Amino acid sequence: MVIVAFAIIRMKDLFAVVMLLGIYGLISASFFIVMDAVDVAFTEAAVGAGISTLLMLVVIAMTGRKEKANRHKPFSALFIVLVTGGLLIYGTLDMPHIGAVDAPIHKHVAPRYINDSMAEIGVPNIVTSVLASYRAFDTFGEVVVIFTAGIGVLTLLSVARRKESEEEISSINDSMHEQHLVIRIVAKMLIPFIFLFALYVQFHGDFGPGGGFQAGVIFAAATILYAMLFGLSTARKVINQTFIQLIAAIGVLLYGSVGIVSLMSGGNFFDYNVLASDPIAGQHLGILLIEWGVGCTVASVMIIIFFNFAGRQELHQQKERVQNQEPS
C-alpha cells in the first residue's frame, strides 16, 4: 500500500493515477479480509475500487489526462501532510495491540453484541445487527447525508440540455457500436448478472457480508457501465432521471417511516420489536425495510452524480459536433 501511494504521488498521468487508486482500494480490501472485517472489505471493494474509479474516469474525461506542470508548489501541502501523518502515528502509540483481549472495545458493548444479538435480533450477521438495529438511528443519519450530497450535486451541476435530433443520436450510437462492438457484447452479457448479484447482496446481508450500501453501489456501477458503453443519450431512454430522483427520496422516506411506525406502535424510534407480534419477526421486517431504503437511496444518488458529471461533458461534445457540422 505504501509503494502504491508513492507511485500515485509521482505519476503525472491521471489515468494511471486512477488505476492505481483502484488497486489501492483492492489492496485495502484484502487487508480488511486479513483482519476478519469482511463487511468493511466488501464496502471498500465496491466503493473504493468500484464506483469511485468510474466517477474519477468521468472527471478525467472532462478535465484531461495529463497533469499540468508548475501550477502549484507542493511543499506546503507536503509539510501539512507530514505533520498530520506524524500526529496520527503518534496517536496510535497508545492504542492496544491488534487482537488484545484487554482492549476497551472487548470490554464495552462488543460482548453484548456477540452474546445477545442472535437472541435479540435473530440475524446471523452481527454487523448487520449493529448497523441496522442497534445503531439504526446513526445509519439513518448516514443515509440522509448521502441523499443531501446527491441533492447538492444535482443543484450545482444540473444544466439544461438542448434536445438533439434522433438521427444525430442514432448516428453517434452506431459509430460507437462499431468501435466498441466486443466490449458492448461482453457488457450485455455481464450487466444482468451484476444486477442479479446486487439483489443477492441486498437481501443476503442478514446472513453474510452485504446490505443496502454495498448493493446500492453495485447496482449503480452496473448502470454507469451501461451508460459509459452505450452513451448517455441511450441510457437516458432506459433510465428516467426524474424517476431516479424520486427513488432517492423514497428510500430516505421509507427508512424514516419505519421509525415513525415504531413510535406510533408504542415502541421507541426504530424499535422493530413492535412491528410484528413476534419481536424477532419484527426485527427481520424492520431490517428488511430499512436496508431496502438504503439500497434505493445509495444507488439513486450514485447514478444522479454520474449523470450530472457526465452530462456536462456530453453537452460540450454535442455543441462541438453541431459547430463542426455547420457550413462555414
32 and 169 share a domain?
A: no
Residue that terminates a domain, selected from 95, 123, 146: 95
Residue that terminates a domain, selected from 95, 112, 143: 95
Residue 325 predicted with pLDDT over 70: no
Residue 175 predicted with pLDDT over 70: no
Average pLDDT over residues 134-160: 86
314 and 203 share a domain?
A: yes
Residue 168 predicted with pLDDT over 70: no
The 3-class secondary structure across the chain, one letter per residue, is CHHHHHHHHHCCEHHHHHHHHHHHHHHHHHHHHHCCCHHHHHHHHHHHHHHHHHHHHHHHHHHCCECCCCCCCCHHHHHHHHHHHHHHHHHHHHCCCCCCCCCHHHHCCHHHHHHHHHHHCCCCCHHHHHHHHHCHHHHHHHHHHHHHHHHHHHHHHCCCCCCCCHHHHHHHHHHHHHHCHHHHHHHHHHHHHHHHHHHHHHHCCCCCCCCHHHHHHHHHHHHHHHHHHHCHHHHHHHCCHHHHHHHHHHHHHHHHHHHHHHHHCCCCCCCHHHHCCCHHHHHHHHHHHHHHHHHHHHHHHHHHHHHHHHHHHHHHHHHHHHHHHCCC
What total of structural domains would you count in the chain?
A: 2
215 and 279 share a domain?
A: yes
Residue 133 belongs to domain spanning: 102-325
Mean per-residue pLDDT over the chain, rounded = 83
38 and 143 share a domain?
A: no
138 and 91 share a domain?
A: no
113 and 79 share a domain?
A: no
CB-CB neighbours of 262 under 10 Å: 21
Separation CA 122–CA 284 (nearest Å):
8
226 and 273 share a domain?
A: yes
What are 221-251's pLDDT values in tens digits?
899 888 888 877 778 888 888 899 899 999 9
Residue that terminates a domain, selected from 76, 95, 114: 95
What are 18-54's pLDDT values in tens digits?
999 999 999 999 998 888 888 888 888 888 888 888 8
90 and 127 share a domain?
A: no
49 and 133 share a domain?
A: no
Residue 259 predicted with pLDDT over 70: yes
131 and 225 share a domain?
A: yes
> Which CATH number is 18's domain given?
1.20.120.1200
What are 102-133's pLDDT values in tens digits?
787 777 778 888 888 888 888 888 888 888 88
Poorest-confidence range of 119-133, 205-219, 266-280, 301-315? 301-315
63 and 124 share a domain?
A: no
Do 229 and 238 form a contact (C-beta atoms < 8 A)?
no
Average pLDDT over residues 178-189: 78
* pLDDT of 167: 47
Average pLDDT over residues 169-188: 64
* pLDDT of 321: 54
pTM for the whole structure = 0.79
80 and 203 share a domain?
A: no
* pLDDT of 172: 47
